[in-house]
Amino acid sequence: MKKSIVAVGMALLIAGCNATTPEKPMSLKEQYEAALARTKAAVEKAASVDGEWRDIRWKKSKKRYLPKAIEAAKAGDYEKALKLLKIAEFQAEMGYKQAIAEKNAGPQLYGM
């Protein structure tokens, strides 16, 4: 009986140690790919309510954060790409929030 309790205890200890093993850190390329997916989803969400801000990907904008991030990644500059994606994701989230907050905006007719 004691041996089985010790065996179960050891098995739980080993399982617990394996569960807390730190994961391998993500490479810059993997971070970029995850950020790109998040940013594209945020941009599409903003666009779905007509809340996409100009500098995310609008052709007439000089900044165009999303396309420039993709270009930087193709050139191997993942740090620059991640910085640009962070800006684009922020703008997409804020554009969505702005569009939702202002969906009923318009002239207010008081006292009529």
* pLDDT tens digits, one per residue of 13-69: 555 555 555 688 999 999 999 999 999 999 999 999 999 999 998 888 889 999 999
Residue closest to 57 by CA, chosen among 102, 99, 47, 48 = 47
Residue 98 is predicted with a pLDDT of: 97
Residue closest to 49 by CA, chosen among 108, 111, 2, 102 = 102
pTM score, whole prediction: 0.73
Q: Which residue has the higher pLDDT, 83 or 104?
A: 83
Residue 65 is predicted with a pLDDT of: 96
Contact 56, 106 (CB under 8 A): no
Residue 16 is predicted with a pLDDT of: 54
Q: Which stretches within the chain are classed as H helix?
A: 2-19, 28-48, 54-57, 65-74, 78-101
pLDDT tier for residue 99 given thresholds of 50, 70 and 90: very high
